[in-house]
Amino acid sequence: MHIWRLAVVFVCSAAIASLSGCSVITAPYRAAKNVVQGGVWIVKTTYVVAKGTTKVIYTIGEYTYEVVKAPIEWALTHEEIESIDGLTVKEAIRQGRVKAAPYVVAGRRYVPMSPEKAKEYREEGLASWYGYESGRMTANGEAFNPNGLSAAHKYLPIPTFVQVTNLENKKSIIVRVNDRGPFPSMHNARSGERIIDLSMGAAKRLEFQDKGVARVRVEAIQVKEE
């Protein structure tokens, strides 16, 4: 049996420390070595130009995130979003006014947390997944990749990197939040109570794609480009 060494990274902030001391992130040594420095995860960024499209590739240890801007005419993954920052969704995306902008779904106004507040984010609850929206655009204008490591969140700034741990099997991954959701549906109003909606690829890595939902812990991580 292969046993991975574990690297334990302590992440503290004044706000968190005043409540519960340091939070602890445990990651496989292979992923953490030379990737975590003083509680900050190091992101390598690569730009690839192909067929007139610029693809941005982010790498954190063993995790890779490919980001491609979607054609503005593409439909949204969540068409129920009515407006962002008082503008039509497509216009807000064109103007780049989506990161922490308020938005409206089914007449309800959602107000995301600020980037500074998001640094303290840690929550446990249910996660679901989505993966049938290939060829659609996320709420920040990116092409949705169902096989990637991405997620939708109602209140985190987009994009944001978070660590997600499946509390049922203790498996953890880092995903990039680039979309909004999950929201209540016509068939299941309680679906809006889920705290995060992961891409199919992320759900597979956490081994709950067959169940559909899992209880998870979501924690913001601090990142900086190398």
Q: What integer is the mean pLDDT of 167-191?
A: 92
Nearest CA-CA partner of 139 in 89, 182, 95, 82: 89
| Residues facing 122 on adjacent strands | 219
| Predicted confidence (pLDDT) per residue in 107-148, tens digit | 999 999 999 999 999 999 999 999 999 899 999 999 999 999
Angle at 76 between CA 211 and CA 74, to 5 degrees: 125
State the average pLDDT over residues 6-32.
36
- Beta partners for residue 173, in sequence order: 164
pTM of the model: 0.83
pLDDT band of residue 167 (cuts 50, 70, 90) is very high
Q: What is the CA radius of gyration of the chain?
A: 17
Least confident of 10-19, 101-110, 195-204: 10-19
User: What tokens does 226 get?
Assistant: 């190398």
Looking at residue 33, what is its pLDDT? 59
